[in-house]
Amino acid sequence: MKTAILLIGFNRVDYFDQTLTSLEANKAAHECDLHIYLDGGPKSDHPGLQKRIDASSFSNITVVARPENWGIGRHLIDARRTLFDEQGYDRVLLFEDDMVLAPSYVETVLNMMDWSSHYNDVGTVMAYTINDEPVAQQTEHLDHIIPTNRHFWGYGMERSVWSEIKATLYDFEERYLKDVSYAHRAHRSIRWRLIRKISRQKRAARSGVPLVPASLLAPPFKRFPFGCPTSQDAITALALWRHGFARITTRVSRARYVGEEGFSFTPEVYEKMGFGNQQTVELSTLTGAPTEFQLIKTNLQGQSFRPSHYQ
């Protein structure tokens, strides 16, 4: 399958370097086309990022550098439009610039996508989560997958899935992201005129064989979206739910989130959301990727892996 890796950058050269360095250590990544999209504006650091890109071990990198600030919402929606709609990629793996990956991350995601392809309900595939189980026991669960409503980090999506949900994203882009800075988008209107409207619609019933049973499904948002996120990731999660898709990730994380500071994060928020203690298996030891997986319904305490709302 024609596969692209999409890496996002803006001005955090140190984080970008960590992500790209770990991506370079993924052998499977070098079999994909690497596209790097850099948002622009007065706070961007294109020269610093480009210097790191020029030193990369990847060959034939495609770089798209915005001449002005688009904001992460428009930036990501347009990147997926370009790769899926215009360039015809079958799969896109998207990484923001604040994850350190295990050497098997890309191979794991691609294998999960292959393995789950005969199911009708898989919308996105990730190999990142926060696992609070003892690390020694995690090593026994390397072929386990679970449903997730977690933030989109290091995920893979098929073009067929994008084709079903893109109208919702393009409507969001047209109504709320053009001619306004991303930070000043109309949060209240997004929640009550878009998210609430879509949430009230009946979830699509998909034909075929589902992977995730109804007992492990949870909508990304509550019935009334007070204070819920209004990001393009949130709208992506909602569109996937509306069209009958589930999201899956590995039970054992193949990455560590390092973005303590950024558009949505401070060190305090980072700690509050649990990223200060990610209980990650030593990433350098995760060099192999399973080709077969099993969906797990409960944790070691017998509690359901049904995910909470989008976080």
Give me the domains of the chain, ranges plus CATH numbers: 3-295 (3.90.550.10)
In this predicted structure, the answer to whether residue 119 has a pLDDT above a threshold of 80 is yes
Whether residue 75 contacts residue 9, with contact meaning beta carbons closer than 8 Å, is answered with no
What's the pLDDT at 203?
96
> Over pLDDT 70: what percentage of the chain?
94
259-262 CB contacts, 8 Å cutoff, 24+ apart: 259/12, 259/15, 259/96, 259/97, 259/98, 259/99, 261/12, 262/12, 262/15, 262/98
User: 165: number of CA atoms within 13 Å, CB side?
Assistant: 30
pTM of the model: 0.94
What's the pLDDT at 272?
66
In this predicted structure, the answer to whether residue 80 has a pLDDT above a threshold of 80 is yes
SS3 175: helix
What are the structure tokens assigned to 47, written together? 């020269």
Whether residue 56 contacts residue 36, with contact meaning beta carbons closer than 8 Å, is answered with no
In this predicted structure, the answer to whether residue 105 has a pLDDT above a threshold of 70 is yes
Whether residue 12 contacts residue 4, with contact meaning beta carbons closer than 8 Å, is answered with no
Rg (CA), the chain: 19
